[in-house]
């Protein structure tokens, strides 16, 4: 029967008669074979004996129903109808529907609905608040057993020969990027190991291709060990590098340049060397940088093409370059939310109109604009002008797009030093109150031994790049062990200084000042404290050389600063004198973590006696920025006398007044310091030894040197290290502290 049916379907050409489908004459006829047609004989799929043997035998004794006769279709339908008729609808439930229309009431349908014979199908749904959800119960309880991971190792074969031919470690690159290595030798199953192995196979081919092996093959397998369970597994990658391709020709597709070999001389690729991806990218980047530095601001590097010859292992490299017009600096334009106009931008620029374009000068201008601190964002871009500049060049306009930032700044700092006490300084600055770059700065100091306020006008980039003019007025009260002073000061200064953004190798400053000060000093002739008033006028001159790598945390290089201040005392006539001081420091880092630092200072005052010199203008030594371990200004000549304000206890009338050790200052000084700085992460420790002394004479004689030693901690931030130093004097004398503590921002020197 099965074979016959297959023959009919497979041989529709045997049909002789047709009849319509379903009696509809519009449908295509169905071929019907004649009754007497000769059909081909087909072999049965299986024989009757095989079919009977396949069917299992049934035991009628196990189920009596197996031998009972089947009921007829009519009897089955009557029984089902009677069972459904016995079911009465519940209260409020719609009667059961036995008609084919169901609830939609449509009795005329192409395909009738099945009759509803189950009362639950037409029962109303329960309210949501009464709906209960029964938890799902699994046929099998969840296992408490932990998932057992399989262990594996990784083995790479055939890579050593290729690795020896490169300047980098191919095996190291593979281990850094490998999915197998990231798995730390554990996987959930063998399939996961196989997936990682497939991924690493592709990785190995990419690594080799990047070094010139473009036909490398990497086959993989998973080996089982002889241990019970076949673990650990070994994920094996067998590498066959194949030939390494080299450059056979280097072609540059570009218009002529000036000089003629500008591109080729800066494309660091040579015929015969391997085709290494990083070298190709680096060479192209060098060309992209060199062209704008040599008059081609609009140059573009195209997409390279490397044609490989599989038979010879050669590669022909072609680089298309669009140079654009050779250009010279043209006008400067500026747009956006302006902090200042194009005229002031020209002051900051280190190039002149007509000079050959150099992108380094454009970057320098961008840095100078950022250093003003007046912008949220600022950009400097060249634009084609189309204006001829001679010699086959064009002018390139410089477009400065500005977005001025908030001009006001609040700042503060705090510190503590033994002998100097706590000191807090705050300032308010409007950086562009008088454009361009005219700032007004209000400053106040509050401390245990110093209080004051001042107002400063500062013009940055005053008529020239990096030149600053400032005029200041300040009033200050100082109450130190050496003197107490009420001081007013007027000064004007022109300077060329470093900033945190722009560190300069050479700095200078010059200016003038007027000082009026009322100071309390110890008069040796009278043997008591005396208050005098001094009026001082003077000039300021300073030069500095800075060859360090950082302003706040230098690790290499040196600094030298020389200060000369010709002054004159206006009290009882005019008495001229000169204050001079030289500071130097050097830094060396034998390792990334260790820095050796040293500092020296020498000073002298010529032309005046110490008594005629205002106490605040003398030299002092000791403290956090001087010789640590001693109190602020405590070194040098001093006078010892009983405290005149002491009141003895009535119960102890013989109690002696405590002694006061009052520094007198001097006319010369010498200091030196050495530090060993060790940094780990954002923290560091420092060991140091300081030495120094102040002398009454005008020239330091390096006698009676005092030493201090200690340790410190550092916390390095993005604006400089926070410093905490603890030091003690060596060979401590009467009246000196056992130790001293210093807290501030920045290194000691």
Kindly state the DSSP code that residue 611 receives in the 8-state scheme: T
Spatial neighbors of 505 by CB under 8 A, at least 6 apart, are 545, 546, 547
Per-residue pLDDT tens over the stretch 667-715? 999 999 999 999 999 999 999 999 999 999 999 988 899 999 999 999 9
Spatial neighbors of 700 by CB under 8 A, at least 6 apart, are 602, 603, 604, 668, 669, 670, 693
Query: Is 555 in contact with 586 (CB distance < 8 Å)?
Result: no
Query: Is 737 in contact with 726 (CB distance < 8 Å)?
Result: no
Containing 244, the helix (H) or strand (E) segment is none
Give one DSSP letter per residue of 476-496, joined into a string. Answer: EEEE-SS-EEEEEEEEEEEEE
What is the C-alpha separation between 156 and 200, in angstroms, rounded? 11
Mean pLDDT of all residues in 544-568: 93
pLDDT category of residue 481 using cuts at 50, 70 and 90: confident
Report whether pLDDT(373) > 50. Answer: yes
Angle between helices 277-293 and 359-371 in degrees, nearest 10? 80
Per-residue pLDDT tens over the stretch 619-633? 999 988 899 999 888
Single out the residue of 581, 504, 590 nearest to residue 547, CA to CA. Answer: 504
Angle between helices 170-177 and 190-210 in degrees, nearest 10? 140
pTM greater than 0.75? no
Q: What is the pLDDT of residue 8?
A: 28
Lowest mean pLDDT among 145-154, 335-344, 587-596: 145-154
Per-residue pLDDT tens over the stretch 163-173? 889 988 999 99
Query: Is 620 in contact with 610 (CB distance < 8 Å)?
Result: no
In order of 68, 204, 260, 358, the CA distances from 63 in angstroms are 10, 68, 104, 103
Give one DSSP letter per residue of 546-584, joined into a string. Answer: E--S-SSS--SEEEEEEEEEEEEE-TTS-EEEEEEEEEE
Kindly state the DSSP code that residue 614 receives in the 8-state scheme: -
- Rg of the chain over all Cα atoms, to the nearest angstrom: 48
């Amino acid at each position: 029967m099965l074979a016959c049916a297959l023959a009919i379907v497979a041989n529709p050409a045997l049909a002789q008669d047709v009849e319509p489908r379903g009696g509809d004459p519009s449908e295509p006829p169905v071929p019907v074979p004649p009754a007497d047609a000769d059909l081909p004989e087909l072999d049965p799929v299986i024989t009757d004996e095989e079919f009977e043997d396949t069917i299992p035998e049934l035991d009628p004794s196990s189920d009596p129903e197996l031998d009972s006769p089947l009921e007829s279709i009519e009897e089955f339908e009557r029984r089902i109808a009677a069972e459904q008729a016995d079911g009465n609808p519940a209260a409020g439930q719609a009667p059961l529907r036995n008609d084919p229309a169901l609830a939609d009431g449509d009795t005329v349908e192409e395909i009738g609905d099945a009759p509803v014979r189950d009362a639950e199908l037409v029962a109303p749904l329960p309210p949501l608040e009464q709906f209960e959800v029964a938890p799902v119960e699994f046929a099998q309880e969840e296992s408490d057993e932990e998932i057992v991971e399989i262990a594996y190792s990784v083995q790479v074969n055939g890579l050593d020969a290729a690795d020896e031919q490169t300047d980098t470690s191919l095996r190291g690159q593979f281990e850094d990027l490998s999915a197998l290595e990231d798995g730390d030798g554990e996987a959930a199953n063998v399939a996961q190991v196989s997936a990682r192995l497939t991924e690493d196979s592709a990785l190995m081919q990419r690594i080799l291709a990047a070094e010139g092996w473009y036909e490398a093959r990497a086959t993989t397998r998973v080996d089982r060990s002889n241990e019970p369970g076949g673990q650990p597994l070994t994920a094996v990658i067998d590498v066959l590098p194949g030939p390494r391709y080299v450059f056979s020709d280097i072609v540059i597709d570009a218009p002529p340049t000036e000089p003629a070999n500008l591109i080729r001389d800066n494309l660091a690729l040579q015929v015969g060397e391997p085709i290494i991806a990083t070298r190709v990218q680096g060479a192209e980047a060098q060309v992209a940088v060199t062209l704008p530095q040599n008059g081609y601001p609009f140059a573009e590097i195209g997409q390279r093409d490397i044609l490989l010859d599989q038979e010879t292992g050669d590669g022909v490299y072609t680089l298309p370059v669009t140079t654009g017009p050779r250009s010279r600096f043209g006008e400067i334009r500026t747009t956006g939310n302006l902090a200042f106009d194009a005229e002031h931008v020209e002051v900051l620029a280190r190039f002149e109109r007509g000079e050959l374009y150099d992108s380094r000068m454009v970057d320098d201008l961008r840095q100078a604009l950022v250093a003003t601190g007046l912008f949220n964002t600022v950009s400097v871009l060249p634009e084609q002008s189309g204006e001829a500049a001679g010699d086959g060049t064009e002018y390139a306009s410089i477009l400065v797009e500005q977005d001025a930032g908030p001009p006001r700044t609040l700042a503060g700092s705090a510190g503590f030093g033994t002998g100097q006490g706590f000191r807090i300084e705050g300032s308010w600055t409007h950086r562009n109150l008088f454009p361009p770059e005219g700032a007004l700065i209000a400053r106040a100091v509050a401390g245990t031994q110093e209080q004051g306020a001042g107002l400063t006008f500062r013009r940055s980039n005053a008529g020239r790049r990096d030149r600053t003019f400032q005029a200041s007025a300040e009033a200050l009260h100082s109450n130190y062990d050496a003197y107490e002073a009420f001081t007013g000061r007027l000064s004007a200064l022109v300077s060329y200084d470093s900033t945190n953004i722009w560190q300069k190798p050479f700095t200078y400053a010059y200016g003038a000042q007027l000082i009026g000060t009322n100071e309390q000093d110890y008069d040796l002739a009278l043997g008591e404290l005396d208050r005098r008033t001094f009026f001082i006028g003077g000039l300021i001159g300073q030069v500095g050389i800075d060859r360090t790598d950082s302003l706040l945390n230098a690790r290499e290089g040196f600094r030298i600063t020389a200060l000369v201040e010709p002054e004159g005392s206006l009290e009882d006539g005019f008495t001229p004198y000169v204050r001079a001081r030289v500071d130097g420091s050097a830094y060396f880092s034998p390792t990334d973590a260790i820095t050796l630092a040293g500092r020296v200072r020498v000073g002298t005052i010529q032309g005046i006696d110490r008594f005629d010199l205002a106490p605040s203008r003398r030299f002092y030594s000791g403290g956090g920025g001087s010789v640590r371990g001693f109190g602020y200004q405590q070194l040098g000549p001093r006078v010892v006398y009983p405290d005149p304000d002491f009141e003895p206890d009535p119960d102890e009338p013989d109690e002696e007044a405590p002694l006061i050790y009052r520094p007198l200052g001097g006319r010369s000084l010498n200091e030196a310091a050495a530090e060993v700085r060790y940094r780990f992460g954002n923290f560091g420790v420092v060991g140091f030894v300081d030495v120094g002394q102040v002398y009454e004479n005008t020239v330091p004689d390096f006698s009676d040197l005092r030493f201090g030693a200690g340790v410190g901690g550092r916390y390095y931030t993005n604006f400089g290290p926070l410093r905490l130093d603890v030091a003690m004097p060596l060979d401590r004398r009467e009246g000196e502290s056992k130790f001293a503590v210093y807290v501030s921002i920045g290194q000691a020197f």
